[in-house]
C-alpha cells in the first residue's frame, strides 16, 4: 500500500484510492499499478520518476480517465470517475484535464495555430474565444512567431510546445504530461519544465509530469518515485 500525508488545504483535484491496474500479457497477469494512493491539489507541480515499465504512464492514464482501475477508485473533485457518463468524460477531457503526449500527436497538415485551436472548435467555442485562447496559449509557450508553421517546419522542442499550448488553451484545472521532455535536448527540457513551473505559479494550474531526467526535478513541488507499480514520496517542498 502507498500512502501519503496531505499538507494542502481543501479537497484534492484528483485522487487515486487503493488503485490497482493489471494487464494480460502472454497469458500472465502483469500488475502495472499496485494498491496506489495518491492525490494532487490545485496549484501543485508533481513529478513522477521511474524506469520504463514502472507504472508511470498507466497511472497518468488512470488519472485522466483514459483507463480504469481493476480495483480502487479515481476521484475528480471528489466524484468517482467509475460513475461518470460519456458526457461527463467529454466535459472532463475538453475543459478540465489537459493531456500532453510524448509523441506530440500533432496533425501534420495543420499549422501550430490550427492544432491548438481545433479542440476548441470541436468543443463549440466561438471564433472570438478560440482566437483569444489560441493566441494566449501560443504566447505562453513563446511560439507566437511560429503560429503559421506546420509541424514538419518546427523543431522537436517547438512541436512539444505546440502540444502543451493545445493542452492549456482550454484552461484546464490539471495538465497530465507523459515524458514531455523525452525527445528533447537538455536546454529544451529545462525550458519545458520551466514553462510548467510558470503555469503552476502564475496560472494556478496543477501539473503531473513523468520524466527520466533528474536534472529537471528541482522545479517540482513533490517528487514521487515509481517502481514495479508502487509509489514512494521522495521529496516534498510543500511541507
| 231 contacts 21 by C-beta, under 8 angstroms | no
Q: What is the pLDDT of residues 164-221, one digit of tens each?
A: 899 888 889 999 999 888 877 888 888 888 888 988 998 889 999 998 888 888 899 9
Asked whether the predicted pLDDT for residue 16 surpasses 90, the reply is: yes
- Answer whether residue 204 is part of any domain: yes
- Answer whether residue 211 is part of any domain: yes
Q: What is the pLDDT of residues 113-142, one digit of tens each?
A: 999 999 899 888 899 999 999 999 999 888
Which SS3 state, helix, strand or coil, does residue 197 take? Answer: helix
Q: Report the distance separating Cα 180 and Cα 67, nearest Å.
A: 20
Asked whether the predicted pLDDT for residue 226 surpasses 60, the reply is: yes
> Taking residues 34-48, what's their average pLDDT?
94
Q: Which domain, by its residues, includes 113?
A: 43-57+85-236
Pairing of strands 28-40, 14-25: antiparallel
What are residue 177's DSSP bridge partners? 100, 209
Cell output for 231: 509509489
- Answer whether residue 28 is part of any domain: no
- Answer whether residue 171 is part of any domain: yes
Provide the CATH number for the domain around residue 103. Answer: 3.40.50.300
Look up the pTM and report it: 0.87
| 123 contacts 95 by C-beta, under 8 angstroms | yes
Asked whether the predicted pLDDT for residue 224 surpasses 50, the reply is: yes
Q: Report the distance separating Cα 40 and Cα 59, nearest Å.
A: 13
Beta strand segments in the chain, E: 14-25, 28-40, 45-49, 71-76, 79-80, 97-100, 174-177, 206-211, 222-227, 230-236
What are residue 223's DSSP bridge partners? 47, 235
Query: What is the pLDDT at residue 9?
Result: 52
Q: What is the DSSP letter of 10?
A: S
Q: Report the distance separating Cα 48 and Cα 208, nearest Å.
A: 7
- Answer whether residue 70 is part of any domain: no
Q: Report the distance separating Cα 198 and Cα 204, nearest Å.
A: 9
Q: What is the DSSP letter of 26?
A: T
- Answer whether residue 25 is part of any domain: no
Amino acid at each position: 500500500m502507498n500512502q501519503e500525508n496531505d499538507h494542502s488545504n481543501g479537497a484534492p483535484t484528483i485522487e487515486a484510492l487503493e488503485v490497482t491496474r493489471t494487464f494480460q500479457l502472454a497469458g500472465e497477469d502483469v500488475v502495472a499499478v499496485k494498491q496506489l494512493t495518491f492525490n494532487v491539489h490545485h496549484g501543485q507541480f508533481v513529478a513522477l520518476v521511474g524506469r520504463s515499465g514502472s507504472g508511470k504512464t498507466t497511472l497518468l492514464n488512470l488519472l485522466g480517465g483514459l483507463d480504469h482501475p481493476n480495483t480502487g477508485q479515481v476521484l475528480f473533485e471528489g466524484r468517482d470517475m467509475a460513475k461518470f457518463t460519456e458526457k461527463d468524460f467529454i466535459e472532463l477531457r475538453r475543459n478540465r484535464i489537459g493531456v500532453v503526449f510524448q509523441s506530440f500527436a500533432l496533425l501534420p497538415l495543420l499549422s501550430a495555430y490550427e492544432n491548438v485551436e481545433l479542440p476548441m472548435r470541436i468543443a463549440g467555442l466561438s471564433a472570438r474565444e478560440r482566437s483569444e485562447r489560441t493566441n494566449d496559449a501560443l504566447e505562453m509557450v513563446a511560439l507566437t512567431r511560429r503560429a503559421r508553421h506546420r509541424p514538419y517546419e518546427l523543431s522537436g522542442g517547438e512541436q512539444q510546445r505546440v502540444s502543451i499550448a493545445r493542452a492549456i488553451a482550454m484552461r484546464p484545472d490539471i495538465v497530465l504530461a507523459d515524458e514531455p521532455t523525452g525527445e528533447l535536448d537538455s536546454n529544451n527540457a529545462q525550458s519545458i519544465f520551466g514553462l510548467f513551473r510558470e503555469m503552476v505559479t502564475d496560472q494556478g494550474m496543477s501539473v503531473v509530469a513523468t520524466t527520466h531526467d533528474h536534472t529537471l526535478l528541482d522545479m517540482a513541488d513533490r517528487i514521487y518515485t515509481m517502481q514495479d507499480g508502487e509509489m514512494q514520496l521522495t521529496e516534498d517542498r510543500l511541507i
